[in-house]
Structures are given as structure tokens and as C-alpha cells.
Structure 1
Amino acid sequence: MPFEPLPLPSKAPSPLGTRRMLSNPYSRRSWRPMLLMTLGLLAIFSFYNQTQFREQTVHVQRAITDGLQTIYQAGRTHNNTLYQQGTEDHVVREYDFGANPCRDFPDTQGILTVMKTGATEVFDKLPTQLLTNLQCLPDFLLFSDREQQVGQWHVYDALADVSDKVKADNPEFDLYRTQAECPVAQKSCLSTYRGAAATAAWNLDKYKFLHIIERTWQMRPNQTWYLFTEADTYIVWPSLAYWLQTKSPVVDPLEEPAYIGSGAMLAGIPFAHGGSGYLLSGAMVRNLVEGVIGLPEFYDDKARSHCCGDQLVAKAILENEGIKLQHAHPMFNGEKPSTLPYGPTHWCEPILTMHHMDSEEVSAMWQFEQTRKKNNTILMKDLYKAFVANKMVAARTHWDNLSEDVCYIDPSPFVRKKADPKTLKREKKDAEKNSIEAEAHTSLAACARVCEYEGVEEAYEDAIEEAENEAVRDAAAADQIDGQGEASGLNKQTSSRRMRRELEQKMAARNPLDRRCFQYRYHNGICCTGRSFKLGAPQREAKGNKIDKPTDVWHSGWHLQGIQDWIKAKGECDGPRWKIPDKL
């Protein structure tokens, strides 16, 4: 069949028809899915690669971090220096000192800490406070007698608002002016300060207290409690926070004025010892600042005739609010672990504050809180066992163990003239002394016998008398036999052994809890004994490289058996003996 060409169209196709064909939705089904599929595959491939890369990167980063952390942790876990022979049951052997130090810190919301210091000591004491307890507080204020900066923390000048009238011609502000004019480090200027800088700082310090209270309210009003402390005060925060939250002396501190601390007495005015720390309720601070206009200025004029700022605070509170101090001793305490009077009054009681803590002692106490094995309330006995017990020995030379409850003084005018007035007041009257006490001032050994034979003085005297009588009989009998020296010596030894046995039996029969003489101190013809047991501190009469005269040497001793017997008889504490404050 022959090929026949198709007939030509009568007219050319319209361009519109071509456009219509391309715009037909069905015409796109052939290429759009292909495009979308291609793009999707590319996206999935890219995402997969990126995810794999990220996961690999995370794994690498994690491995590096873990490695560095392991190295770092290995370097920050150290031997606990408080772990010593005798303290093994109380603190852990090793500790991660780089771990979160505030993880067990209590909730202190509503309790504002206000710390007072001085330009003469701020860089000696404050840094350790900032590295320990203060780092865990949400807020606190620092005041001094000069505006200063310690790292990121600002120290406010508590005396900035003292009037020029009070400062002018007032020698107690000479140190303040010297500090302000010092062009170099404060210590350099104070090293050449005329007179004793420490005494000058003490005289200046009393002007700070009421100004600090006023400034504190202006800067941080409406706190539940205000805790005023010093740079050498240590706060046992878990115990203090618990006490305020569960055993508060007032129901509503924002409505009830309260003034709480460790009471002292001066010029007939009971006041809270500033170094031990004291509490003012929010209502008390508000009333003092808003209720009495110009309160600090009023007492600035009176300060020169008063010794201490904490006494002025009590005076202002009593005269303007009629509120008396609530005495919370021994929980609020002016001593520290080495000077606390352990025994009947300081054993099962909790400790909330301590004073005279130098930077090393603040750090050690913080370390104890961090590394102790138990997390119960810290009692006085816990401090004894952690800081003192393993350091107690029978005797120390050039040492003052602070025995000062009862004293026996050489009657010679020379000794009595040199004796401290406080020591003279503690002297036992001659009519009240037994034969042992009557000789206590004569020697160190005689002084030690006061504690050794406490409670068995009559038995001791009887034994001495019997020994003397036997010695006389021995001497008479010796004249009638050969070898009189040997016979006399044997009889004396027998008598001495019998006397010792009888005394030991009588001492063993005594109740250890009745003991009132735990330690003694002998110095320059003066014997003093203690009704508690303390560690104390080194003491030298001579200064520098000079050697003490034999009579000037400070001797201290402890009746270790009596202390151990008392602790054993005391047994375990039933729980913390929380103090209900007394109103003074």
C-alpha cells in the first residue's frame, strides 16, 4: 500500500494551546514528584551525615570532658588533714574538696548576715570567711571603717554618716583619718602609726554598731532576722537555721522585737557580746531605724564615755524599746574549740556561734563540717573529740590551759603584787582550804595534788599521818635490829604502798560526775585549778629570744584519768540540750 502523507492542518496551532497544555496540572505529575524525591533524598543524606558527625563530635567531646574531669577530680580529692589518730570515728579519711561545698547548706531565707570588720584586719580575716560559710549565703553585707573592695565583694564604710562634729577633735577618729589618707597598702601605714593600731581600732569600733544597723535596714529592709557578726566569728549554720526555724524565741520576728545573744555585763547593763554574734528580729531593726529618727547620731555623742559598741546597742534598745536581752549562752559562745570549757556546762549543748577564730581555725571548722561522718546537730562534745581529745597530755610547759576557777596564791607581798586582780578575786580563803590546798602554791607538784586527791583529802591526810607515825616506829625498831637501814626502807615502802592502795580505793568509790577539778596551772607562786577541761594556748613570759626565769615558766597539767572517767560516766547525750534564752 503506497504511503500517503498526512494532510496538513488547515491552520497553525495556536500558541495559547501550547501554553494551555503546559499549564495543565496533570502534565506536572511526571516531573514534580521526581524533583521532590531527589531533594528529599539529598536532605536525608545530608542530615544523616550531619547527625553522624554530631554524634561522633559529642562522643569525642564527652570523652575529652570525662578524661579531664577524671584528672581534675583525682587532683582535688585529698587526704583530710583533720583525720588523725583519735579522730578516725569522726571525720572521713579523704574528701573531694572540689565538690559543691553548699550542697548540704541549710535554707537561710529571711536571715541576713551582717559582718563587721576593720581596715586593719580585713585582708587577714575576710578572705577565709568568703571562701567558707559566706559563699553559701544568698546575700550578706560587709561593713568596715573604710570603704574597700575584696575581689568581687564590696565592703561599706560604716562611719561614712558620722557627723563632722563628732569626728572633729576626737582622737578616737585619728586612725580613721590615717586610713583615709594612706596612699599605699593599709598595713604599710599602720606599721608606723603612732601608738598601738589595735587599741586605736578598738576605740574606733564602737561607733560602727548603730550606724551599721541603720544602713542595713536602708539597704535590706524587712528581713525576718538580722544576724550581726564579726570577721572572727564562726556560725554553725545548720544548727542556727534549725533553731530559728523550729525553736524561735518569738512567734513572729517581723512583728515582735527581739534581741538575742551571749550576755555580758558592764556598768550594770546586760548586752549581747558582739564577737559571739547576736540576733535582732526584723521588727526590732525596723523600730530602731524608723521609730527613732537619728538614733546613731544621738549615741555617737555618748560613745566616748562607753567602752564598747555592743554595749551601746543594748543601751539604745533598752532606752527606746524597753526590750531586754535574751541570753542564749552557751549556744552563742565567745570561745572556740581550743578554749571552750568542756565538762558539765559544755557537753550535750549545741554550738551556734564561736569567737576569736583566726583564719586557720575558721578553715578547720568549715573543713570539719564538710568532712564529718555524721550529719546530726554538732554538740560541744563533738568539738572536743574532733579538735581537743587527741591533743590532751598530762602536762605542758610554756602553756596556759586557762585554769582560773579557784586559785591558791603565795602569801608573799611580792607575788600578790604581781598577781592579776581577777586572779586575786578567785583566791580561796585560808579558812576554807584543806591541808593539800594550803600547800598548793608552793610547787608545781603540790598544785597537781589538788586535782589528784580531790574528794579524798581527809583520807590523804590520814594516810600521811599514818605514814609519819610508821616511820617513827620503824626508826625506833631499827635501833634494835641489825641492818637497820634495810629494815627501815622496807617498812617505808610497805607503808607507802598501803597508803596508795587505800587512797586509790577511796578515789574509785567516788562518782566521777562529782569531779570539780579537771586541770591546773602553776606560774610564779600561783596555783589555779579548773572545773572544766580546756586545751588553751602557748604562753611565754619572756619576749623574743630571751629565756624565761624558772619562776616565770607557765606550767599546765590535766588530770587525764579524771577527765576520762567523767566522759565515760556521762555517757551518750540523749540529744541536743537546746537553750531556752533567759531574759537579763
Structure 2
Amino acid sequence: MFNRSLNQRSILTILFVFSLIVFLASLRSFQLQALHQQSSQTTLPTSPPLDEFGPPGEDNCKAPSTTVDTIVIVKTGANEIYEKLPTLLLTALRDYDPANLLIFSDLGQQLGPYTIHDALDNVTHSVKSQNPEFGYYRTLQEYQENGQDASRLRESFHDAAWNLDKYKFLHMVEKTWKMRPNRKWYIFIEADTYLVQSNLRLWLARLDSSRPHYLGAPTSLNGEAFPHGGSGFILSGKALSMFADGNEGIAAEYDDAMQYEKFGDYMLMKALKAQGVKFRSSWPLLQAEKPSTLPFGPGPDTGVRHWCQPVVTMHHISPDEASQIWAFEQTVQDSSKPILMKDFYEQMIASEIRAERDDWYNLSDDLMYRARGMDGDRQKSGDDMSAIEKEAHLSFEHCRRVCEEHNRCFQFAYTDQSCGFSYSYRLGSKYEGDPSEPSFKSGWILEKIARDNGANTCSSPRWPGSTV
């Protein structure tokens, strides 16, 4: 069995190295294509060939990565590890020494030079043995022992993997301190989270790691805010030490309670709060959107214009999107200045926005106009509609006409007697809904978007709060 496992690991290692070579070649092809497309919009500096950057982790990276005082921790799962993690390691984390990376999963294994740590091996025995959620965990161990491919479990055990994921949070955080204690910063992300290294480095330079920082993009449960795990969260060395230093086994103290909670990131907030570490929002630097879904411009009534802020994390990034973002980063010549949302829009999104697109949904739902008898959220009351607004649901052209006249509407989406407006501009994606259902058609008011772009320049980046 040992020889069989060894042979399997050797094969996987060879495949991973081969994947690196193929992926780097595809990145180079994409980068040249992206630069050619962008040249018709604006003049960009010529990006050096990928060869000049060398293998991942070398010191000849174009922009310096964060220091040894910063540890990046990636949470993933065995049934998706080969789909998502290699892309992350080749793009956003390309310049990181493996010693400054920790990767946690629901199965311990090796991926080339990277050790994948089991985040769940210290979960209380009674919880593991009595809770059916850990049946999937035992199945993973059996698959590994028998040399089977755990990725085959993804479809049939999708819900089981998701339910098990919540137990990783606290144990991952405690293990991180034990394995890499006394660092200044700990950056926790997931395998489909993109980390903009240059912006992270500039942001951390503004913060004091001796203070108990616990930063992230807020969501809420039971009236309490906590950082959304997929958007990434950051703990200063002081904050993590308050939780884990001298508190060996603290994660296991929450295992029983975790059985009755839905979100591990929520329980982590509760556990940190009990140790005196309070969460603070750092949205929109850390966030769940990505370039194609970011709401650029004014947006709804939050008082936040998405334009001059740097971006540190983005979530639900596909391998192709990660490649595009990485290629764009290589065109940025001055790493002393942050990459702003405005830059992502101008270099990655603007050329894709056009007057209209069939079978496309651009996420327009800030205000809705539906046919009489169709109820739904954000519906404008019929009593408050003008005569032309009452016809917005009739067709794509009617929807466009009302959007053009509405002073806040930048784009719209139409489907089957439903017209949606957006107070920002977003790209969205091709509609891939049920083929038997009506599709979406999306439109943008290009003149309004151009005026908004011209009226809003960025004299300086908008970091959250002041230097602390």
C-alpha cells in the first residue's frame, strides 16, 4: 500500500509540474491577446514576457511580495483542490515562498512543494464519531488510503463538503498560530479568492500590527456583523496571539456548539470576540465581488462610490478570471501606487460594455418594473410611476427608454415583462439559466457611463479610515 501511495503521489507531482508549464504558456498567450485588445482603447506599457519572472517563489518577481512577517493561509477542500488551487498558486500567490503559505483542507496531502494540512484532525473525537457530517471526512480518508481520486466525490458529496467546511475555521486559525507564531499579519483566503499583492502590501504598511486588527467584508447573522470567509479576512499578530497564544485546544472548545451553527466564519467571530478581538469592516477593499460583478460608479443608497478605492481581495474567481487579473497586474509599472477599482474598470471591463447584449444578465436589479400582478423585491409602486414608467415592462426598447430618462439609471436588463434598472454599471455574464425559461437581454446607456467616468477622477486612493 505504501508503494502504491508513493507511486500515486509521484504521478500527481509529475502532472502538477506539467500543468505549471502548460498554464504558464496559456498565460503568456492570454497576456499578449489582452494587451492587443487594450491597445485599441488606451496605450499601455509593454508587459515583459513571462520568462522574465521566473518560477513561482523566486526573488526576481516584477513586484516584491509581502515579507516573511506576513503569512497567507488558504482554506480549500479535497474534492476541488486540483481545480482551484493550482491557478491560485500560479497567479495571485505566484511570488510567495511556500514557507510563507499555509494551506488547510479536509484532507492532508501533498501538491508539489506545497503541504496541504488537515484542518479537522483535532476536532473533538465525540463530535467526529457521532456527527453524521463527518461521514464525508471518513470517506475522504478511505479514498486516500485506497488511492482513489477524491475529486470524483464533488457532485455526490457537495452538500456534505459544505457542511463540513464550517469546522475548519477555528482549527485552521489555531493551527496557524502554532505553525507560524509571532508574525505581523495573517491573511486568510479561499482557493477561489484573488489576492492583489501590491495593494495588500501598501495597505498593511498603513496599519499597526501591534494592535488587535480583525478585518474583513461584513455580513451579518443574529444582528451581529462578521467577516465573510470567501472575501478573506485579516488578523494582526496581536489579534491572533490574543486568541491562540497560551490557549491550546481553544478551537475544540467550540466543536459542540459548531454542530448547531451554519457558518464557521460566524463562530470564529464569536470566539475572537470572547478573547477581546473585535471585528472591523474593511469593505470594499475586501469583498465578495470580482471585476465582472463589481458595481462601478455611484451605486444604490449606501453612500459609497466604487471608483477610487484599492481592491485587495475578490471572490468566486474562475481560473480564466484569475489569469486575466494576473496579466493585468503585470502591466502596472509603479507598484508604489495601488490598483484602484477605476483601473480594473478601464483596463478589463470598459471594452466589454456595449449598447446591448442578447442572452446576457448584467445584474440590474436596484429598481424593478414588472407587469401588473407580478410581485417581487424592489418593485416601484404603480401609484408612483409616470405614464412612461408604466410601460417599462412591455419590451426591451420600452425598458431602455425609461432608463434613459431616469436620472440614476446607467444600465438595464429585460426579461418576460420584467425590467430592471441599475444605479451603477456592471458587466455581468452570459445568461445560463433554464433553456425552457425566457432569457435576459441587457443594455447600457453608454453616454451616461461616459459622463460619469469623466466627472469622477481620483486625485488620491480612498483607503478605509486614516492611517493607524
Class of the TM-score when normalised by the shorter of the 2 chains: 0.7 to 0.9
- Whether the 8 Å contact between 1:83 and 1:92 is mirrored in structure 2 is no
Are 1:404 and 2:365 counterparts? yes
Counterpart residue number, 1:535: 427
Measured in 2, the distance between the counterparts of 1:522 and 1:133 equals: 36
Measured in 1, the distance between the counterparts of 2:36 and 2:426 equals: 19
Counterpart residue number, 1:334: 288
Counterpart residue number, 2:49: 96
* Residue identity in the other structure for 2:50: F
TM-score calculated relative to the size of structure 2: 0.85
Counterpart residue number, 2:463: 578
Compute the displacement of 1:519 (Å): 0.8
How is 1:101-500 mapped onto 2 (pairs within 5 angstroms)? 102-138=61-97, 139-182=100-143, 183=146, 184-190=148-154, 193=156, 197-245=157-205, 247-248=206-207, 251=208, 253-254=209-210, 256-290=211-245, 292-321=247-276, 323-344=277-298, 345-373=305-333, 375=335, 376-412=337-373, 415-416=374-375, 424-455=376-407
Are 1:80 and 2:32 counterparts? yes
Counterpart residue number, 1:568: 454
- Whether the 8 Å contact between 2:202 and 2:338 is mirrored in structure 1 is no
Q: 1:202 to 1:560 in 2, by over 3 A?
A: same
Q: 1:357 to 1:147 in 2, by over 3 A?
A: same
Measured in 1, the distance between the counterparts of 2:125 and 2:401 equals: 61
Compute the displacement of 1:94 (Å): 5.7
User: CA-to-partner distance for each residue in 1:63-94, whole Å, 9 max, x for gaps?
Assistant: xxxxxxxxxxxxx9866121133445364456
* Residue identity in the other structure for 2:72: T
* Residue identity in the other structure for 2:116: V
**Which deviates further from its counterpart, 290-299 or 144-153?**
290-299
Compute the displacement of 1:450 (Å): 2.3
Measured in 1, the distance between the counterparts of 2:158 and 2:347 equals: 32
Secondary structure in 2 aligned to 1:541?
coil
User: CA-to-partner distance for each residue in 1:507-540, whole Å, 9 max, x for gaps?
Assistant: xxxxxxxxx2111112233221111100001113
* Residue identity in the other structure for 1:530: S
Counterpart residue number, 1:39: none
Count of residues paired in the alignment? 422
Measured in 2, the distance between the counterparts of 1:87 and 1:147 equals: 46
Measured in 2, the distance between the counterparts of 1:295 and 1:164 equals: 15
Q: Identical aligned pairs, as a percentage?
A: 39
* Structure 2 portions without partners, runs of 5+: 1-26, 55-60, 299-304
Q: 1:107 to 1:228 in 2, by over 3 A?
A: closer
Measured in 1, the distance between the counterparts of 2:49 and 2:248 equals: 51
Q: 1:566 to 1:119 in 2, by over 3 A?
A: same
Are 1:520 and 2:412 counterparts? yes
Measured in 2, the distance between the counterparts of 1:333 and 1:84 equals: 30
User: CA-to-partner distance for each residue in 1:104-128, whole Å, 9 max, x for gaps?
Assistant: 2244231111111111111111111
Measured in 2, the distance between the counterparts of 1:260 and 1:407 equals: 34
- Whether the 8 Å contact between 2:85 and 2:191 is mirrored in structure 1 is yes
Secondary structure in 1 aligned to 2:51?
coil
**Which deviates further from its counterpart, 161-170 or 145-154?**
161-170
User: CA-to-partner distance for each residue in 1:472-524, whole Å, 9 max, x for gaps?
Assistant: xxxxxxxxxxxxxxxxxxxxxxxxxxxxxxxxxxxxxxxxxxxx211111223
Counterpart residue number, 1:508: none
Compute the displacement of 1:174 (Å): 2.5
Compute the displacement of 1:557 (Å): 1.1
Measured in 2, the distance between the counterparts of 1:381 and 1:233 equals: 20
Compute the displacement of 1:378 (Å): 0.5
**Which deviates further from its counterpart, 214-223 or 95-104?**
95-104
* Residue identity in the other structure for 1:442: L
Secondary structure in 2 aligned to 1:435?
coil
Measured in 2, the distance between the counterparts of 1:309 and 1:81 equals: 41
* Residue identity in the other structure for 1:327: S
- Whether the 8 Å contact between 2:93 and 2:195 is mirrored in structure 1 is no
Counterpart residue number, 1:465: none
Compute the displacement of 1:387 (Å): 1.1
- Whether the 8 Å contact between 1:377 and 1:576 is mirrored in structure 2 is yes
Q: 1:534 to 1:425 in 2, by over 3 A?
A: same
Measured in 1, the distance between the counterparts of 2:90 and 2:418 equals: 43
Secondary structure in 2 aligned to 1:371?
coil
Compute the displacement of 1:569 (Å): 2.0
Compute the displacement of 1:294 (Å): 3.2
RMSD over aligned Cα atoms: 2.3
Compute the displacement of 1:440 (Å): 1.9
Q: Which has the larger radius of gyration?
A: 1
* Residue identity in the other structure for 1:109: V
Measured in 1, the distance between the counterparts of 2:388 and 2:256 equals: 54
Compute the displacement of 1:292 (Å): 4.3
- Whether the 8 Å contact between 2:47 and 2:330 is mirrored in structure 1 is no
**Which deviates further from its counterpart, 222-231 or 161-170?**
161-170
Counterpart residue number, 2:10: none
Compute the displacement of 1:319 (Å): 2.9
Measured in 2, the distance between the counterparts of 1:268 and 1:189 equals: 36
Secondary structure in 2 aligned to 1:372?
coil
- Whether the 8 Å contact between 1:271 and 1:314 is mirrored in structure 2 is yes
Measured in 1, the distance between the counterparts of 2:259 and 2:397 equals: 48
Measured in 2, the distance between the counterparts of 1:156 and 1:77 equals: 32
Secondary structure in 2 aligned to 1:408?
strand
